[in-house]
Amino acid sequence: MANSVPEDMKYLRLLSKQYPTVASACTEIINLQAILNLPKGTEHFLSDIHGEDESFHHVLRNGSGVIKSKIQDLFGKTMSEKERKGLATLIYYPEQKLELIAKAGDNSWDWYKITLYRLVEICRYTSSKYTRSKVRKALPKDFAYIIEELLHEKAELLDKEKYYNEIISTIIRIGRANEFIIALSKLIQRMVIDHLHIIGDIFDRGPGADRVMDTLITYHSVDIQWGNHDILWMGAAAGEEACIATVLRNSLRYVNLSTIEDSYGINLLPLATFAMKYYQEDTCECFRPVTEKEKPIAENELPLLSQMHKAISIIQLKLEGQLIKRREDFGLRERLVLEKIDYVMGEICLEGKIYPLKDTLFPTIDPKSPYELSSQETELIDKLRTSFLGSEKLQKHISFLYSNGSMYLKNNSNLLYHGCIPLNEDGSFKKIRILDSGEEYEGKSYLDRLELLAREAYFNHSDWEAKRYAMDVMWYLWCGPDSPLFGKEKMATFEAYFIEDQTTHIEKKNYYYDVKNDEEFCNRIFEEFGMDPKTSHIINGHVPVRLKKGESPIKANGKLLVIDGGMSRAYQAHTGIAGYTLIFNSYGLLLVSHEPFESTQKAIEEESDILSTRIVLEKEAVRMRVGDTDIGRELRTQIKDLEELLASYRKGLIKEKV
């Protein structure tokens, strides 16, 4: 054993392959030490996008109002408001705006020259807190050298002024000004958001979840905390039949079929054929899709959509019943609703009370075996499952959710999770027994266990029983009473469709929502997750903040922030706004509330922007540096390792590779 090499020396020898000389190690130490003293990058937090791709993309393009404020800082005294609006719109939508400017004949030499100077100035301003190396990596390949020269040369110096002007003039003269404006605009968009956090619920309700996912996949820096709507789609992509049926029911309810059919290539013809056969004589009045006034459905399309909606809803209820019976540990026997129906009288008994049903036509249900799929339903769900498993784009999107997502995240003294931590009535963490392990979990350990099961549902291809259980857990995470992503006693899907009495539609929230305004309770959560109660925050989404009724997104004296402000149009009548962005920059925390976004077309043609209101939550006495962040702690570890490598070189323990 005398010849054995200490583990730390093994590591240092591996590190020496990357830094083979004293000079290279010293250079990296100097570089990392300098980065520690830069201002921290700006983080943006968004939640509950729900497929509202136009609003989401506009918020990214305008940096939640940050770009407009940068223009004000630089040109507030030298440009009119109209000019500033025009410049902002150009940065948000450069391709479309340049086309309109060209059609109007406003793209003169002078316009290009002035605009390019202004864009370079904004670009220099927004990138000033980053290293040249970081900015260089973000530069578009075709213009990297030119932009770097313009950003770091000082045109006011006499010996550089002519050089600077000549670059701008040449770009215009050779016909590359449009491409250069587009490149600068996208770089500005990139620089104002250093990192993006999505606190769940990308999918459902709105029409463009797939387009949101396309953007996130190519985004420079992003993480996602799964919401129950995301987990539903993840379960469907893994092949869980109850999740598949629910995804389709939601899509039909909100008429998001383009996402299903056009984007993900899911063939709905078998469902349409089935629905026409069994529900042809049924008006399916209770299953008319929910539509927006601006986007009505043609009357001739409504009957088939309603029939498909009802057909998949009944299949969903059957599949859920099978799952509930299969998983006694889920404790959901009271949700076995189909066996509680009196099919002769057309009524149901729930919690000892009889309710008449609004719809009593059940051509595919056998009252003696209400959860048994007919052979035609079995064939249909098999075809749909094959389509979900075989959708290349869907699988790509879900794979990204797994690789960049989690149940929760601890980052820079912020604890991010979508919904809640399940509690008992007395406010203590609820212990939940998970059958596959036979153990009880609570608080952090419960979320950790659920994340492992969520990953097993998708990635386990060797143990079917384990995978089957994990897939069923995905459905439970969508709607189970102890799901931290759902956080309600029940999901009243059946009641909403079939029972008039509104009291049956109430979905009682977990006790978490009764105590989330208690500072002491938040401190217990921080301790559970190993965080400092004095400096930490909890950031949630999931439950829309009813600002219209006086509710505040700021809870527990600022320790808990709920940032679901209703980006989804379906919630805006209740919230009174159209979403929040939480911004965490080097100066502190800002909460930005957004007014409703009308359309991309109007934003381009009329230069209308989202009206945003800022609230300063916390202001740092001393500007935060990279060294104060989680990345800073990692960099200090790297510096320590490099200094040990340097010492080993100087002692001759490791030889330089000159």
User: Taking Cα atoms as reference points, which of 250, 245, 366 lies closest to residue 315?
Assistant: 245
Domain end call among 138, 163, 192: 192
Q: Answer yes or no: is 527 within a domain.
A: no
Residue with the larger pLDDT of the pair 438 and 161 = 438
In a domain, 2, yes or no: no
| pTM attached to this predicted model | 0.92
pLDDT at 508 over 50: yes
- The C-alpha torsion from 279 through 252 and 240 to 231, rounded to 10°, is -160
| Pair 26, 109 in one domain | no
Q: What is the pLDDT of residue 1?
A: 42
**Cβ–Cβ < 8 Å for 332, 380:** no
Please give the pLDDT value at position 579.
Answer: 83
pLDDT tens track for 79-125 = 999 999 999 999 999 999 999 988 888 778 888 899 999 999 999 99
Q: Is 60 exceeded by the pLDDT of residue 313?
A: yes
Q: Are residues 308 and 237 in the same domain?
A: yes
pLDDT-derived band at 166, boundaries 50, 70, 90: confident
Confidence band, pLDDT 50/70/90 cuts, at residue 294: low
> How far is Cα 8 from Cα 20, in angstroms, rounded to an integer?
17
Check whether residue 260 and residue 163 sit in a common domain. no
Which of 312, 208, 310 is CA-nearest to residue 258?
A: 208
In-domain check, residue 150: yes
Model pLDDT, residue 2: 45
Q: Which of 152, 187, 239, 177 is nearest to 67 (CA)?
A: 187
Average pLDDT, the chain: 90
> Closest by alpha carbon to 67, among 637, 624, 581, 627?
581
Question: Is there a single domain that holds both residue 171 and residue 257?
Answer: no
Q: How many domains does the chain have?
A: 3
Q: Output the six-digit token pair for 222.
A: 């992003």
Domain containing 95 equals 66-192
111 belongs to a structural domain: yes
What are the tens digits of pLDDT across the range 526-546? 999 999 999 999 999 988 888
Residue 519 covered by a domain: no
pLDDT digits (tens, 9 = 90+) for 644-656: 999 999 988 899 8
Tell me, yes or no, whether 368 and 474 share the same domain.
yes
pLDDT band (50, 70, 90) for residue 402 = very high
Do 105 and 213 belong to one domain? no
Q: Quick check: is 45 in a domain?
A: no
Q: How confident is the model at residue 600 (pLDDT cuts 50, 70, 90)?
A: confident
